[in-house]
A and B are shown apart, each in its own frame.
Chain A
Amino acid sequence: MTQHDQTKPQESLNIVIVGHVDHGKSTLVGRLYADTGSLPEGKLEKVQAICRQQGKEFEYAFLFDAFLEEQEQGITIDTARTFFIWNGRQYIIIDAPGHKEFLKNMISGAARAEAALLLIDALEGVREQSKKHGYLLSLLGVTQFAVVVNKMDLVGYRQDVFDGIEKEYREFLGQFRAVPQQMIPVSAKMGDNIAVRSGNMNWYQGPTVLDTLALFKKEQVRSEQPLRFPLQDVYKFDARRILAGRITAGRLKVGDQLVFSPSNKTAVVQSIEGFNVDPPPAEAQAGQSVGITLDEQIFVERGEIASHRDSVPLVSTAVRVNLFWMGRRPLEKGRKYVLRLATREVPCEVAVIHRIIDTADLAQLQESQSVARNQVAELTLRVKSPLAFDLSSSFESTGRFVLVDEYDISGGGIITELVHDEQEGLREEARQREYAWLTGDVRSEDRALQYGHRAAIVLFTGSAQTGKTFLARRVEALLVADSRHAYLLEGENLLQGLDADLSAADPSFASERVRRYGEVARLLIDTGLIVVSTSKTFGINYQRMAEMIRTLVQPAPVIAVHMSRAGEEPPPNTDLHFAGPQDFDAAARQILEELKKRGVLIQPSGTKTHIQYSI
């Protein structure tokens, strides 16, 4: 072994430095590098020369405050990433700005950290951003941190000053059960307790800052958790159809049966693909970006979460969250946002603003209609279509999300509770039914090839007398004339037979009728048919009925067609909307076009029938 092998890093650790503006974060970083000999040759001299030229006193902070403006104003504007190696470990030091104007930059820095140092100025004591940053670290999931009480030289290195700050700050952190690993008295400017133990504070027996870094543990591997594999993309560059993504928890192996949520589709892992990897891996684990092939060409999309059957993620259309807002304009009830969770993107709205949290004293502010920039709030969010997720207390990556306002990521949050919605019971029924479904040797793929189309449901919605039954009949006729296998499922037909045991006069049976209708539709879909669904509403409103049917026919493709008399708003997730008097033939052809576009009707290409799945 040569001398250099000893310094070769075995691992790397992301550390963020946070705290109130001017409490000395950049100075601490500069000092740490200077005292460990980690600065590039000439860097110190170059910055000193610039200082002389501009006629100002050299500060260690200037080493990393790169922008002219940062040096002129003496504050850090944006997070910098620097690297140094110490005792076999590479540290990536993220210096985050402390000024409240730049909170979003602090969050960008802290969100990628595995551990943090939080600085407090001994002279100024605990300030607004000291508290806010402490609270946000906890919200961001950075549980490993130390508090550094800086500028001890300015208070004569007095223990009582340090003890007072320690007591006050520990009490604050205790309110949300955060516990620092260390509280360290230092002077970054003078170099006390940074890399070397200070002779000025013999009353302190704990580790230095550098020792503390070494005590931080590498993030616990998440591979022992249940599997979470959010699907990122589906590739078809060559003969292989590869499902790509990054495993966020657990592990997967060739031969594992995967369940995709929220679609409930299942398939078996056939291979784990790679480039320049020999032999191909048989197993992959949390943190890895991988690609897999499946035994069956099921249709799944980016955003679904694959797991094992015995531990599936939660699914709902509403969640309770803790959120911090960084948007240019306030977060408001009623405005449309996009929620991004792992690789899923779904439109959402704020249903309830429960409370705004004042991070200075964690007090509850009065109810509000909006959340301002840099505020933290407890909310209920409602998403447009079912979302697969976890609670942040059990899974990190699939338990948190960001909100996008127009072009910008404007908020981030963690999911604290599932909010029950109306569909919950049916969703669970559909899920259990799909898992337990037994099939013969004929796969849905084989049927699709034989029939020239995949199975699907064309779901008509709209109030009475809008012509939807008439159009549904046209669609069925047009499909059959085109040699497709289609069937008009008329709700009326169930009433005398399957529903004969439910009294027609009793409105309490309405949902049961819809449930039965949905299950019949699911059965017909499994035979490979294109089900054209039209029905009276059994006495409940068509929006709710459509939601119930959608939930029950999961995982089949749904083409939703809404008909209305005049400009009324179609239900969520409508694919085609016809308003007013219609040319029914043209409308029916349009629906067939939509079926082609969605890949349900297979287009003959040459002499060979080709199924396009990656849509």
Chain B
Amino acid sequence: MKHLRQLEDQSVYILREAYKHFNHLAMLWSMGKDSTVLLWLARKAFFGHVPFPLLHVDTSYKIPAMIEYRDRIAREWRLNLVVGQNKEALAAGMNHTLGRDVCCTALKTNAMKNLVEERGYTGIILGVRADEDSTRAKERYFSPRDKHGDWDFRDQPPELWDQFKTTFPPGTHIRIHPLLDWTEINIWEYIKHENIPFMDLYLDRGDGTRYRSLGCAPCTMPIKSTAKTVDEIIVELRKSTVAERAGRAQDAGRGMEMLRKKGYM
């Protein structure tokens, strides 16, 4: 598992750089497989401790099992959990039938922006991976966002030799992406290697389907699969040529570029 150790070493290095340079640092945790691996890597980097808060952007449309899992892990690992929600938009009746990009922007992007603004975070750690979609493939490990939270992909900072962008003008913040070099298979290989607890929604629980990517209940579809163990997931993924986020509605067309430009994760 030499390549997993290399990925881990790089991610740990990035997490430690983030912790050293940002006084107001937080990590986004969606309870999905990627951000849970990210959380585990933080425990690796800081020797069993997680020295910053974990943010969960709750759209209120999450699958209930996800919330149970969140609260259990937060208790067991003694996490400082901060939950953010765009209550205004929800009170006004926001839901996916009003348009998926409208709904994602209101309940996820804006909820996160509010949280960042309210609490004054200058560094946000996210579990984004380059192989998820082609705009994420162009991300930096340390990626600046302007005063409006927007991403200027035309003018990204240079990043070389593990020297990252850690200084920035007031009012802006940096997104930190320690998992950029990981693939979906690497995530599962690592979950197995480290025996990381994950939600069983990712497994076939008898009906011949499982979730490959987890989001809001109305916009996330399970895939046909009989994988009942992590090993079986890995075997299935090696054979598959279907995109990971094929079950995520907001990715259709040019959706992801537009969403991410506006600050989507």
Q: Are A68 and B254 closer than 8 Å at their CB atoms? A: yes
Category for how many chain A residues contact B: 35 or more
Q: Are A67 and B130 closer than 8 Å at their CB atoms? A: no
How far apart are the CA atoms of A406 and B170 in the complex, in Å? 13
Q: Are B6 and A108 closer than 8 Å at their CB atoms? A: no
Flag whether A605 is at the interface (Cβ < 8 A): no
Q: Are B16 and A232 closer than 8 Å at their CB atoms? A: yes
Q: Are A92 and B17 closer than 8 Å at their CB atoms? A: no
The 8 A CB mask of A26-70 against B (1 = contact, 0 = none) is 000000000001011111000000100000000000001011110
Q: Are A246 and B13 closer than 8 Å at their CB atoms? A: yes
Chain A residues near B9 (CB-CB < 8 A): 246, 287-289
Query: Chain A residue with minimal CB distance to B256?
Result: A66
Flag whether A402 is at the interface (Cβ < 8 A): yes
Binds B, one of A201-209, A268-276, A487-495: A268-276
Q: Are A68 and B47 closer than 8 Å at their CB atoms? A: no
Contact of B131 among A77, A82, A238, A287 (CB under 8 A): A82
Central interface residue in A83, A238, A287, by most chain B CB within 10 Å: A83
Q: Are A68 and B257 closer than 8 Å at their CB atoms? A: yes
- Measured CB to CB, the closest approach of chain A to B172, in angstroms, equals 9
Binds B, one of A9-17, A161-169, A415-423, A560-568: A9-17
How far apart are the CA atoms of A287 and B2 in the complex, in Å? 11
Query: Chain A residue with minimal CB distance to B9?
Result: A289
Q: Are A66 and B12 closer than 8 Å at their CB atoms? A: no
Contact of B138 among A40, A67, A92, A233 (CB under 8 A): A67
- Measured CB to CB, the closest approach of chain A to B153, in angstroms, equals 6
Flag whether A553 is at the interface (Cβ < 8 A): no
Contact of B165 among A79, A287, A400, A408 (CB under 8 A): A408
Q: Are A37 and B241 closer than 8 Å at their CB atoms? A: yes
Query: Chain A residue with minimal CB distance to B196?
Result: A276
- Measured CB to CB, the closest approach of chain A to B55, in angstroms, equals 21
Contact of B140 among A2, A67, A108 (CB under 8 A): A108
Flag whether B72 is at the interface (Cβ < 8 A): no
Chain A residues near B17 (CB-CB < 8 A): 232
Q: Are A77 and B47 closer than 8 Å at their CB atoms? A: no
Query: Chain B residue with minimal CB distance to A342?
Result: B162
Chain B residues near A597 (CB-CB < 8 A): none
Q: Are B47 and A64 closer than 8 Å at their CB atoms? A: no
Q: Which of A396-411 contact B (CB under 8 A)?
A: 397, 400, 402, 404, 406-410
Binds A, one of B38-46, B110-118, B203-211: B38-46
Chain A residues near B47 (CB-CB < 8 A): 235, 237-238, 240, 242, 273-275, 291
Flag whether B159 is at the interface (Cβ < 8 A): yes
Given A43-B243, A78-B153, do A275 and B165 touch, yes or no (CB 8 Å)?
no
How far apart are the CA atoms of A355 and B13 in the complex, in Å? 36
How far apart are the CA atoms of A534 and B254 in the complex, in Å? 70
Given A276-B44, A400-B161, A402-B160, do A67 and B135 touch, yes or no (CB 8 Å)?
yes
Flag whether A381 is at the interface (Cβ < 8 A): no
Contact of A108 among B43, B158, B167 (CB under 8 A): B158
Chain B residues near A287 (CB-CB < 8 A): 6, 9
- Measured CB to CB, the closest approach of chain B to A525, in angstroms, equals 29
How far apart are the CA atoms of A40 and B246 in the complex, in Å? 10
Chain B residues near A288 (CB-CB < 8 A): 5, 9
Contact of A408 among B157, B240, B246, B254 (CB under 8 A): B157
How far apart are the CA atoms of A41 and B160 in the complex, in Å? 33
Central interface residue in B12, B43, B135, by most chain A CB within 10 Å: B12
How far apart are the CA atoms of A64 and B133 in the complex, in Å? 10
Chain A residues near B49 (CB-CB < 8 A): 237-238
Given A67-B138, A80-B137, A108-B140, do A233 and B20 touch, yes or no (CB 8 Å)?
yes
Q: Are B156 and A111 closer than 8 Å at their CB atoms? A: no
Flag whether A244 is at the interface (Cβ < 8 A): yes
Query: Chain A residue with minimal CB distance to B252?
Result: A46
Q: Are A66 and B134 closer than 8 Å at their CB atoms? A: yes
Interface set of A (CB-CB < 8 Å, partner B): 2, 4, 7-12, 37, 39-43, 50, 64, 66-69, 77-83, 90, 92, 104-105, 107-108, 111-112, 140, 232-233, 235, 237-238, 240, 242, 244, 246, 273-276, 287-289, 291, 302, 326, 340, 397, 400, 402, 404, 406-410, 412
Interface set of B (CB-CB < 8 Å, partner A): 2-3, 5-6, 8-10, 12-13, 16-17, 19-20, 43-49, 51, 130-131, 133-135, 137-138, 140, 153-154, 156-163, 165, 167-169, 180-181, 183, 194, 235, 238-243, 246, 253-254, 257
- Can you list 8 A-B contacts (CB < 8 A)? A67-B138, A81-B130, A81-B137, A83-B130, A90-B183, A104-B158, A237-B51, A288-B5
